[in-house]
Amino acid sequence: MTEITLTIDDQSITVSQGTTILRAAQQLGYAIPTICYHSHFTAPSLCRICVVEVEKSRVLVQACSRAAENGMVVRTNSPRVQLARKLILEMLHSAVDLSAAPEIRAYASQYGADPDRYGENIERREIPLYDDNPFYLREYSKCIMCWRCIQACGEDVQWTFAIHRADRSFETHVATFEHVPIPESTCVYCGNCVQACPTGALMPKRAAWMEQGLDLKQLARVSNLDRREQR
């Protein structure tokens, strides 16, 4: 396998061809922030939080999917990179409920992002809670469109294709085909999307109820377990 050498933050590293900038930086011990990227799934290069500055490149490049090149000179934390990350985090905060996304909120304080920068009069993504199946809740006002769930449902894991991206632009959101309830979709309830969700937009029902402080008896009632009489 061909090996290439690049420089990341003034350190030289040799990696095999095809290695992403992110992987190369990780080998050097640099922590590049990621949100949509997950090592288990195809990198969708959507959130841009992992952008880095590459010499001779006009725009910032996404570290998660861009392959390292021979002679590349990369800066993972330059002022331009920091500003971009701050802006991304502020825009996410302006539109999405990130109350169940501790990692993203930690990034916000790390990069000095002001969650209220765009004020209260800005349009937010407000989509009603879907409680349509026995196992998990879908609360897309918490969704940052990272696509992990769609990939888990599709070609990265399950090959079920129960969900996809609906609508366009700001209105884009995750949905079942024709917006049918989950039980009418092809969903097999594997929950691999739920495990992959970084913002709590997908939540196992029991976890959501326990967060609301329900006790054992109430849990049995809401989970339908005590409705089924012994035959």
Which residues are at the interface with other proteins (CB under 8 A)? 39-40, 134-135, 155, 157-159, 183, 188-192, 194-195, 204, 206-207, 210-211, 216, 219-220, 223-226, 228, 230-231
Q: How far is the CB of 213 from other proteins (least distance, A)?
A: 10
Q: How far is the CB of 53 from other proteins (least distance, A)?
A: 30
Q: How far is the CB of 225 from other proteins (least distance, A)?
A: 5
How far apart (Å, rounded) are the C-alpha atoms in residues 220 and 227?
9
* Residue among 127 and 190 whose Cβ is closer to other proteins: 190
Q: CB neighbours (10 Å) of residue 63?
A: 30
Q: How far is the CB of 166 from other proteins (least distance, A)?
A: 24
Instruction: Please state, in angstroms and as integers, the Cα–Cα distance from residue 203 to each residue in 15, 60, 76, 100, 192, following that order.
Output: 38, 34, 33, 10, 11
The token pair that represents 217 in the structure block: 């008896």
* Residue among 77 and 160 whose Cβ is closer to other proteins: 160
Contacts by 204-212, CB closer than 8 A, 24 or more apart:
204/135, 204/136, 205/134, 205/135, 205/136, 205/137, 208/137
The three-state secondary structure class of 84 is helix
* Residue among 72 and 197 whose Cβ is closer to other proteins: 197
* Residue among 55 and 103 whose Cβ is closer to other proteins: 103
Q: Are 69 and 6 in contact (CB under 8 A)?
A: yes
* Residue among 24 and 197 whose Cβ is closer to other proteins: 197
Q: How far is the CB of 187 from other proteins (least distance, A)?
A: 9
